[in-house]
Amino acid sequence: MSLPLNINIQQILLHMLNFVILTGGLYFILYGPVKKFMDQRQAHYAEMDKAAADKLAEAEKLAADRRAQLDHVEDELRERRAESQKIAQAAAQQQLDRAQAQADEIVAGAHKAADSIRAKAVSDSQKELRDLAMAAAARLTHASSRDAFDEFLNLTEEGKQNEQDE
């Protein structure tokens, strides 16, 4: 069968059949495996993205846990500092109390020493007065006068009154 312009239908149908076979072959040989590879690649990257998101979420959770632990540690440090300050204040107060007790002991000792010195001074002055009285009595006995004896008595009474006033 011959058509005008030298067209052969059989040739056209053969070319069309070859084209369909080529297209089908290429589809099964190239397109299927390439599509499968692309789907696997896309799934792989989606899995990697999901793993990265999971790791990021886990890292954020760990960071939040660490922040909470850090806050807890800071709170504990504040408590320990407050405890340490209380202990230091108590120790300082004890030292102050001991120092005050020592100061009180020193003052009491000084009062005792002052009382002892005062008693000694009084006894020394009484001894001197006796010695003076004895010397005056000795002078008066030599003079043998009654007026001198009265004067002696007046002097000794004045000395006793002076001692009592002190």
pLDDT at 63: 96
The predicted model scores a pTM of 0.39
Which tops the pLDDT comparison, 27 or 157? 27
pLDDT at 126: 86
Q: How many Å apart are CA 83 and CA 43, to the nearest integer?
A: 59
The alpha carbon of residue 36 and the mean position of all alpha carbons in its chain are separated, in whole angstroms, by 65
Give the closest residue to 133 by CA, choosing from 112, 111, 152: 152
Task: For 107-164, write each residue's pLDDT tens digit.
Answer: 999 999 999 999 988 888 888 888 888 887 777 666 555 566 677 777 888 777 776 7
**DSSP 3-state helix, strand, coil percentages of the chain (rounded to 5)?**
95, 0, 5
Q: What 3-state DSSP class applies to 141?
A: helix
Which tops the pLDDT comparison, 83 or 163? 83
CA distances 55 to 42, 50, 59, Å, are: 20, 9, 6
Asked if residue 11 has pLDDT above 70, the reply is: yes
Q: How many Å apart are CA 28 and CA 34, to the nearest integer?
A: 10
Mean pLDDT for the chain?
87
Label each residue of 64-103 as H, E or C.
Answer: HHHHHHHHHHHHHHHHHHHHHHHHHHHHHHHHHHHHHHHH
pLDDT at 140: 65
